[in-house]
Amino acid sequence: MTVNVRPNKQITWSVIGGGNGGQSLSAHLALMGFPVRLYDIFEETIEAIRTRGGVEVSGAVNGFGKIELATTDIAEAVDGADIIMIVAPAVAHRDIAINCAPHLADGQIIFIHPGSTGGALEFNKVLLDQNCDKTITVAESNSLLYACRSQQPGVTTIFAVKKELMVAALPANETKRVVKLLNAAFPQMYAGSNVMETSLSNPNAMMHPAPTLLNTSLIESESDWLYYWDGITPSIGAFVEAMDKERLAVARAFGLEMPSTLEWYKMAYGADAETLSEAVKKNMAYAEVKGQNTLHTRYILEDIPMGLVPMVSLGKMLGVDVPRMETVVNFAELLIGRDLTSSGRTLDTLGLVGMSVNQIQAFLETGER
């Protein structure tokens, strides 16, 4: 990708999170000519980027992205930013929201990239609980724009940039305006129906927790293995396909008709097959995705509390049976000896307790309860 380096002062971006995604985004935006601030919780990361003056990126995007401000001070990071882009593990979103809240200003856009399941709803609820009286629009995508990896603070590689990325705002009647702004940098971003659609389009919740459990012995073996190619065996793929139907049933109860994960593989990767187990093997991007060697990764620790747990909570509220999701959550909790439900997103933390489906739909559209 040739980056058109041009001065672009219209939009100031604040990137919250200096990991793989945050550094890649910061460098990419800076190379497009946008003023960029970068925040991370770790002084070590920020110090390295500050010393270097920015982030060196290679791969699908090449060049040195000058970072205007690298800081561990969140007030400084968000001050004057038009778009505050949160690129951090979903388990950190709540904490980021609490710490951002006092420093936000009218008209700012929070863009959670990606929101996992319920990111925008949770952020909105925290702002309410923190008595934030500013007019803030919270948006989210369902996935990260890049496949990327930072080798060290200040140096990152973008392997691939997605051709399409769904974004929705809360309220949904702001989505058009938000997407138009985002399109100044990222023309591939398009509007989803509302943040329930982005939240329920979380592919990680389908492809990570259940297969991880069913691969426990391989994970704890001495062998190298490929997460998708070795890990999504016929029975495991079939289980995920059945669980995926539960996800689509939850979506349908909100009036959302969404593609299955199998259909999504065809759309996103051109991987056309009868079963998920076959589809992943037709996706060459997966040829080198190695399997983990411990159960304690974000495939369990993030994708359950921030993916399956909110889906189960929504399913229960709607009266939609989600037995596979529930069983995976239970089994994972018992296997790793950790409560992933209490720390996870539920109707309560999403701010949806006591609301009917119609009330939720109206709230998603207008932001009014």
Q: What are residue 138's DSSP bridge partners?
A: 110, 170
**Region from 40-48, 177-185, 311-319, 325-333 binding a copy of itself, contact rule CB under 8 A:** 325-333
244 is catalytic: no
What is d(CA 127, CA 130) in angstroms, rounded to the nearest whole number?
A: 5
Nearer to a copy of itself, 135 or 221 (CB): 221
Which of 208, 296, 321, 348 is catalytic? The answer is 208
- In the stretch 208-247, what mask flags binding to a copy of itself with x, by CB under 8 A? ---x-xxxxxxxxx--------xx-xxxx-xx--x-----
What is d(CA 51, CA 45) in angstroms, rounded to the nearest whole number?
A: 10
Nearer to a copy of itself, 19 or 211 (CB): 211
Q: How far is CA 281 from CA 19, 29, 137, 147, 289, in A?
A: 29, 33, 40, 18, 11
Which of 103, 303, 321, 339 is catalytic? The answer is 303
Residue 248 binds to a copy of itself (criterion: CB under 8 A): no
Residue 320 binds to a copy of itself (criterion: CB under 8 A): no
Nearer to a copy of itself, 2 or 334 (CB): 334
What is d(CA 32, CA 149) in angstroms, rounded to the nearest whole number?
A: 20
Nearer to a copy of itself, 335 or 357 (CB): 335
Nearer to a copy of itself, 138 or 328 (CB): 328
208 is catalytic: yes
Residue 334 binds to a copy of itself (criterion: CB under 8 A): yes
- DSSP one-letter string for 36-95: EEEE-S-HHHHHHHHHHTEEEEEESS-EEEE-SEEES-HHHHHTT-SEEEE-S-GGGHHH
Nearest distance, CB of residue 238 and a copy of itself, angstroms: 8
Q: What angle do CA 3, 30, 193 make, to 5 degrees?
A: 85
Residue 295 binds to a copy of itself (criterion: CB under 8 A): yes
Among 8, 143, 18, CA closest to 74: 18
Provide the 3-class DSSP secondary structure of residue 156: strand
Known catalytic residues?
208, 303
List residues near a copy of itself by CB under 8 A: 211, 213-221, 230-231, 233-236, 238-239, 242, 295, 323-324, 327-328, 330-331, 334-337
